[in-house]
Structure 1
Amino acid sequence: VDLVRLEGGASEHCGNRPVSVAVRSKMIDQLHDIVASDPRIFNPEHYATINGIVFEILVLAALQRPASAWRLLQGTRALDSGARVQRRSVVETVALASIASEQFTFRRVGYLYNSCRPEVVTTCEPMVLYRNYHDDYPVIDGFFVVDGHPGGTSGAEQQRGAPQRTVVLLQVTLAREHPTDTNKLMLLMKALRAQFSNWEDFTRNAQWEMIYFLPNKTEKMRNRQRCSIPRGMEGDAGHKNAHEFWNTKVRQYQKSVDETVLFVRALLPER
């Protein structure tokens, strides 16, 4: 964000003079106070679409700076899957260590297009934050890929040269439950294959995680979020495969976000 001075009725252009450091600092402080005190953003009773969009923008912005990303990604809690031992998320075991000395969490930010004929066809890369361009993008608000597995790699995998990658799906929500269905999951996979020319090879043998970000005033998620098969599609092979993939391959985690998270750190210049 570049804060510049504009006279009354003037338009923004590349020659506008930036505000002073002191004025910028005061404006950022005021913005933080507004964000932290706005009950609509953190109050679970306010489920208006616009508030959900604001919360999503803030969380995805905060993820882009290591200082605030640490606050958001530490302490992710595994949703109950019935397993005796819950594996820690790759963001804690691999990703946080890799960004400790970096200026930015991700190499860059890319956009996801909700279409099987996307505006841009490219290759998927590790540690790039891909976020939705359209509000109706299926299942997720964004994702990134980590070069590594939370549990390491077995000797057999190392000998075969299997890629050690984890696809981390992101969903920012104001609701305590966020179920989906196989229709949406299949649309997601179709859109990803269409947008990324290397998707099949890049994600082959990858592990999968989903992280749900919620305001801390929303009741915490306890159990895995469902992916149901629409009525009448129970016998369809594609829907059954998508249902099995969600239930057996995608580990789910939840993170509560509170008002003390300094979202505006994502706007601050590096010192």
Structure 2
Amino acid sequence: IQTTTAKRHETTVTAVIEFNKYLKNCFSDWTDVSKKVSWEIIYIQPYDTDERRRIKEWQGCTLNESGNYNLEQQEVTAKFWSEKVNQYQVNLSLGMAVRLVEALERVRKEEKLSKIEDLIQIRRQEVHQEVNFN
């Protein structure tokens, strides 16, 4: 998960390779799983995003001039990105944003946490533990 305010959201080949390595460590049968996975990126635009800042084109996967991967590995990964990764954009409406905050607040109160940030931190730790468990 990445947050950014940039107009372009290019992903590097190195980031994709490293992400795949990470996933491979999470699954004992990653080779089979990876063939069945639907690869999707969802860009969520805040409800008040200026029209000029909205994503209007496919976000590419750029080759790295420096890094630990040779040109052939990078080209295979770039091809994977262009052929297998679907990209979507969701424009978050004001109503959706309000409901999201309300839902977070309800959970925060149920768990007796002082801030939403505490809830987010707890969820991150739970996900990290699940990944390490698998």
TM-score bracket relative to the smaller structure: 0.5 to 0.7
2:34 maps to amino acid: T
Q: Which residue of 1 aligns with 2:5?
A: 174
Task: Specify the alignment match of 2:74 in structure 1.
Answer: 239
Q: Which structure has the bigger radius of gyration?
A: 1
1 or 2, which has the higher helix percentage? 2
Alignment of 1:52-201 (within 5 A): 141=1, 171-201=2-32
Moved more, 231-240 or 207-216: 231-240
Task: Find 1:265's aligned residue among 89, 103, 108.
Answer: 103
Whether 2:91 is the aligned partner of 1:253: answer no
Identity of aligned residues (%): 26
CA contact (8 A) 1:172 1:214 kept: no
Equivalent-residue separation in structure 2 for 1:174 and 1:185 (angstroms): 20
Task: Give me the TM-score of the superposition, normalised by structure 1.
Answer: 0.33
Match of 2:59 in 1: 225
Residues 204-219 of structure 1 mapped to structure 2, 5 A cutoff:
204-218=35-49, 219=53
Aligned residues: 101
TM-score by length of 2: 0.63
Counterpart of 1:189 in structure 2: which amino acid? N
Offset at 1:176?
2.9
Give 1:232 shift: 5.9
Deviation sequence 1:95-118 (CA, Å, 0-9, x none)? xxxxxxxxxxxxxxxxxxxxxxxx
Q: CA deviation at 1:209?
A: 1.4
Q: Out of 181-190 and 255-264, give the one that drifted further.
A: 255-264
Secondary structure at 1:203's aligned position in 2? helix
1:193 and 1:199 in contact (8 A); partners too: yes
In structure 2, the partner of 1:202 is 33
Gaps of 5+ in 1: 1-140, 142-170
- Select the structure with the greater relative contact order (CA < 8 A; seq sep ≥ 6): 2
The one-character-per-residue Cα deviations of 1:198-232 (angstroms, maximum 9, x if unpaired) are: 32222224332111112133322110111100126
CA shift in 2, pair 1:175/1:258, >3 Å: farther
- 1:225 maps to a residue whose letter is Q
> Structure 1 CA distance, aligned partners of 2:7 and 2:59?
10
The letter of the residue matching 1:257 is L
- Tell me the amino acid that sits aligned with residue 215 of structure 1: P
Q: Which amino acid aligns with 1:223?
A: E
What CA RMSD, in Å, does the superposition of the two structures yield over aligned residues?
A: 2.6
Distance 2:46 2:5 in 1: 6
2:120 aligned partner: none
CA-CA distance at 1:257 after TM superposition: 1.9
